Structures are given as structure tokens and as C-alpha cells.
Amino acid sequence: MSAPETGSPADDGSVPAAAATGTDDAAPWQKREGTPPASVVACPNGPLLIRGDFEIVTPDGVPVPRDRETVALCRCGGSAIKPYCDGTHKLMKFDTSRRRPVPEPARRAAEDAAG
Amino acid sequence: MKIPAPRGHVSATLIDLLLTRGPGREHSYETLNLLVDEALAATPDLLRDEDLQLTLFCLYELHYSGLDGVEDAAEWDPELIRVRARLEAAFEGVLRRTVPVPELPSPESEAVAKTLFDLAADDDGPSVSRFIAGKASVEQLREFLILRSVYQLKEADPHSWAIPRLPVGRAKAALIEIQADEYGGGRVERMHSKLFGTTMEGLGLDSGYGYYIDLVPALTLASSNAMSLFGLNRRLRGAIAGHLAAFEMTSSIPNSFYARGFRRHGFSDDVTYYFDEHVEADAVHEQIAARDLAGGLAAAEPELLADIIFGAATVLALDALLGEDQLRAWKAGESALLAPLAHGAPAEPAVSAAAAGATA
């Protein structure tokens, strides 16, 4: 990592500052200029399809192994390879058009909260 | 690819002609044309006609990896294109007459996607994947890989013909997104055809393209030929788009069954990786293929709608026939290949069929 720095003719004192600015500046555009922000397609009766600039991490911030640019995230709960989709929604007849009826007290509370 | 062993007068004449092309062979083309016409008129089942499907397969192969010892220029030999067109017309005719097609949706993305998902869900053909998961012997797993290798060792290639044939827009972007993933997203070691080779090698098989061609029955060649027919003819670009969509939509769940079958026999993750990868990849691809590729193309070129659905229905119809043939053979303790695989030795066509039943 530090090999190029040692060969540098620059004086020792300036190195940490220069290195720090370098990483700060480099990070944003090294993410491949032009990658659009993430977009999520909610596929009817299927997964959430995610494209663009995004990262999938565990609650501790550890990246989840990812092998492709565009991924499909399980939304039916049945996948054996979560967080990714494995097509199980088709066997479950997962239906995104069905809405669970909201119980009356909960709906009133929500309406009150909304003003 | 190596030159396959001929399976009748037509393929023998074609192969002889391919190897000896040049001035003074005009009468050989005439002979070939006559033989093709006679064979087409006489065949009771073009889809299972060994001689004619192999002939078409060889003609198509000139557009892919070529055939050993045959000049690359043979690809655009007008006389050979003429022969190919005759076979294609008959082949397409059979598919159009026999493939059941559902009622056409409106040419809008979501309506097309729904029709395709319903079509794939209604598929109640014989389940090779369940047999592989629960019952197949190691020998049957090998046969399964050999049958699949005809396409899988050139995975994605037939659909790539469609790229320059789709209009700039949603469908083309979708096809590129899928194909880039099929070819490994820039990483050779993740290329699907390469992964399939690793799986074959894990079962002691040769992963050279076309190595087992002489063991592969006509119907499997027909399934590959259908992709080439749709891919190589611009007028059928709707059919190749629908074909890819149905392909992707009937993949992720069967692949999880295939992986289970190989794990049942103790094969390592390296061997099952091809199938594991397809469970995840095709769950992504099917969404893109249904809505953006097939649906997007129908919206952009509504006159292609019928062919999009026809191409998808062709996948299901041919898969059902293939599954029937394979399961019938395996359940009877027979080989699903033209001849059983000789252990350890290079594949020999149709000679030592006697030892077959005993191994299963």
C-alpha cells in the first residue's frame, strides 16, 4: 500500500495529510462515474429488483456476498437463498395485489395521527 | 467442433460435401438438395429425425464454432444457405403446427409478462428436475449433463444473435443486461458455459464442445436447432426474445432440484455451483426477460407479439417432449442417449448398446 509513497520525493511531514485528502477525494468518483443511484423495481407477484449504485450489508455493516450488478431480493419470504430471490414466490402463488385488511382501531389511530 | 458421425444419407452427403468443397462439386449440391427434399417428404417426425436434425445442426454449427476441417468460408456458401433454408422452412412449419400457443395478450409489458408467467406456471410436463433431485443414478446424472451440454457449452450464444436485431430501447437494454451476466459479467471464471464445463469435469466427463455429439438424440439437437432458427433469422427476432424469456422463467426452480440431485450423490459445491448460480441468476433474469425484453419488445414492435409468445411456447413444448423421452428411458433402466456412455473411454456411437441396461 505504502510503496509508492516511500519513493516519493515529497518531504515526510506532508504525507499523512496528502494521503488522507487523496482517499477522501478518490472515494466518490471511484465508485464508477455515471452509475445511477439505486432504483428498485417492485415486480408484481415477485421480488424487488435493484439496479444502480447500492450496497447490501448485514446489520453490522458487513457486505453480503454479491455476484451480480442487478439483484432480485426475496419479498415473499420463501427463498432458500435470502436475501436473494430463488423463484419460490411462483410455487407459493405469492400475490402482491392482495392487501391484508387493516383492523378498524388501527386505521382510526393512523388517520388521527395523520391529522 | 469435431465432425459428427453421419446418421443417414443426407448428413453423410453434407459432411462429405463440407470436407471436399470446391470447383467441380456442383452435382453434389444437387444430390444434397434432392436428398433433403426426399427425406423431408418421407419423415414421419421431423423433430426426432436423426439424419435431418443432425444435418441442420451441422449447417448451424458453421455459424458458431465451425466444424473441424471445414473452411470458415463454408458459413456463407449460398448453396448451403439454400439447403439450410429448406430444412428451416420445414422445421418452422412443424413447430408452428404443433406448439400450443395461448391467447395473445395486449402488446403491453405487464400483460405480456403475465401471459408468459402463466404459461410457464401451467407447464405440467414430466419433471426431469424432480427425477434428478430424488432418483437419478450417477450414470443418469452423466447422461443428463451430456444432453444439456449441446446448449450449455455454448450457453447464451444463440440468443446473442438477437442483440443487433432489436431496436434501440428497453428490450435491447434488457437483453444486454441478461447476456452480460450469462457471460460472467467480465469474469471468465463466472461465464456460465465455463461453469457447466467444470460440472461436467467433476463427473469425469470431457467438457470439450461437441465431444459427445454422436450420443445425443435428434430431439435434443432439435431443441438447439430451434434456438438457432429463431436467433439467426431477423424476421424471427420476436421468437428468440420469447424463447429466452421462457428459458429463464423455467430455470431457477428446476436448477435448485438439479443441485439437490448432485449433492445427494456427494458431489461438491464446485460441481453444483453451476446449478446454484442459476437459481439466483435466473430469478433475476426471468423478471427482466419477461417485462423488459419480451414485454418491451411487444410494446415497441406490436407486430412481433404473436412470435414472442410462439417462441416462449416452443421452449415449453420441446422441453415437455424431451422430458418424456428422457424419463421413459431412465424409468425403463435404459440410456437416454443414442448409446450408453462407455466408462472412461471416449464416446463411441451406437456400438456397445448391450451393456446399457445392467448399469442402471
CA dihedral B186, B251, B282, A77 (to 10 degrees): -150
On whether residue A30 sits in a domain, the answer given is no
Q: Are residues B45 and B122 in the same domain?
A: no
**A55 to chain B, minimum CA–CA distance in Å?**
17
Q: Are residues B276 and B158 in the same domain?
A: yes
Give the tens place of pLDDT for each residue, B253-268: 999 999 999 999 999 9
Q: Do A87 and B286 touch (CB under 8 A)?
A: yes
Q: Do A46 and B121 touch (CB under 8 A)?
A: no
Q: Are residues B320 and B223 in the same domain?
A: yes
Angstrom distance (rounded) from CA B253 to CA B47: 27
SS3 A51: strand
Give chain A's domain count: 1
Q: List the alpha helices (DSSP H) in chain B.
A: 9-19, 26-42, 50-61, 78-98, 109-121, 128-134, 138-152, 157-160, 170-182, 192-202, 218-232, 237-249, 252-264, 269-287, 295-300, 305-331, 356-359
Chain B partners of A67 at a C-beta cutoff of 8 Å? 190, 277, 280
Minimum-distance CB partner of B252 among A69, A71, A86: A86
Of B69, B98, B127, which residue is a domain's last? B98
For an interface test with A, give the residue of B176, B252, B257, B274 to mutate (most A CBs within 10 A): B252
Q: Are residues B322 and B198 in the same domain?
A: yes
Angstrom distance (rounded) from CA B282 to CA B78: 38
Give the tens place of pLDDT for each residue, A97-114: 988 777 778 778 878 877
**B160 to chain A, minimum CA–CA distance in Å?**
19
Give chain B's domain count: 2
3-state helix, strand, coil in chain A (%, to 5): 35, 15, 50
On whether residue B174 sits in a domain, the answer given is yes
On whether residue A3 sits in a domain, the answer given is no
Domain containing B92: what range? 9-98
Chain B partners of A86 at a C-beta cutoff of 8 Å? 252-253, 256, 279-280, 283
For an interface test with B, give the residue of A40, A69, A70, A96 to mutate (most B CBs within 10 A): A70
Phi first, then psi: give them for residue A72, nearest 5 degrees: -115, 120
On whether residue A21 sits in a domain, the answer given is no
Chain B partners of A65 at a C-beta cutoff of 8 Å? none
Phi first, then psi: give them for residue A40, nearest 5 degrees: -115, 120
Residue B357 has a pLDDT of: 38
On whether residue A98 sits in a domain, the answer given is yes
Q: Do A85 and B253 touch (CB under 8 A)?
A: no
| pLDDT of A57 strictly over 60 | yes
Residue B123 has a pLDDT of: 76
Q: Are residues B90 and B229 in the same domain?
A: no
Instruction: Give me the sheet containing A39-42, strands edge to edge.
Output: A39-42, A48-51, A71-73
Chain B partners of A80 at a C-beta cutoff of 8 Å? 256
Residue A109 has a pLDDT of: 82
Minimum-distance CB partner of B284 among A44, A45, A71: A71
For residue B100, is the peptide bond before it cis, meaning its omega torsion is within 30 degrees of 0?
Answer: no
Angstrom distance (rounded) from CA B149 to CA B189: 18
Give the tens place of pLDDT for each residue, B68-93: 999 999 999 999 999 999 999 999 99
Q: Which DSSP string corresponds to B35-104?
A: HHHHHHHH-S-GGG-HHHHHHHHHHHHTTTT--TTS-GGGGG-HHHHHHHHHHHHHHHHHHHHHS--PPP
Angstrom distance (rounded) from CA B53 to CA A16: 70
Residue A110 has a pLDDT of: 79
ipTM of the prediction:
0.86
- pLDDT averaged over chain A? 76
Angstrom distance (rounded) from CA B6 to CA B13: 9
Minimum-distance CB partner of B252 among A49, A68, A87: A87
CA angle B294-B295-B298, nearest 5°?
A: 85
Residues of A with CB under 8 A from a CB of B: 41, 43-47, 49, 67-72, 80-81, 84-88, 90-91
Domain containing A103: what range? 39-113
Q: Are residues B146 and B277 in the same domain?
A: yes
Please, is A13 exposed, middle or buried when counting C-beta atoms within 10 Å of its C-beta (0-12, 13-18, 19+)? exposed
Among chain B residues, the shortest Cα distance to A85 is held by B283
Among chain B residues, the shortest Cα distance to A83 is held by B280
Chain B partners of A87 at a C-beta cutoff of 8 Å? 252-253, 256, 279, 282-283, 286
Angstrom distance (rounded) from CA A105 to CA B24: 92
Of B47, B65, B98, which residue is a domain's last? B98
Q: Do A72 and B287 touch (CB under 8 A)?
A: yes
**pLDDT band per the 50, 70, 90 thresholds, residue A6:** very low
**B289 to chain A, minimum CA–CA distance in Å?**
12
Which regions of chain B are under pLDDT 70? 124-126, 343-360
Give the CATH number, domain containing residue B202.
1.20.910.10
On whether residue B207 sits in a domain, the answer given is yes
pTM, full prediction: 0.86
**A73 to chain B, minimum CA–CA distance in Å?**
9
Q: Do A86 and B256 touch (CB under 8 A)?
A: yes
Give the tens place of pLDDT for each residue, B133-159: 999 999 999 999 999 999 999 999 999
Chain A partners of B121 at a C-beta cutoff of 8 Å? 90
Q: Do B279 and A81 touch (CB under 8 A)?
A: yes
| pLDDT of A44 strictly over 50 | yes
Residue A104 has a pLDDT of: 79
Q: Are residues B59 and B81 in the same domain?
A: yes
**pLDDT band per the 50, 70, 90 thresholds, residue A5:** very low
Minimum-distance CB partner of A70 among B252, B277, B284: B284
Phi first, then psi: give them for residue A107, nearest 5 degrees: -65, -40
Q: Are residues B286 and B188 in the same domain?
A: yes
Angstrom distance (rounded) from CA B253 to CA A62: 29
Q: Do B283 and A47 touch (CB under 8 A)?
A: yes
On whether residue B338 sits in a domain, the answer given is no
Minimum-distance CB partner of A68 among B110, B181, B252: B181
**A87 to chain B, minimum CA–CA distance in Å?**
5
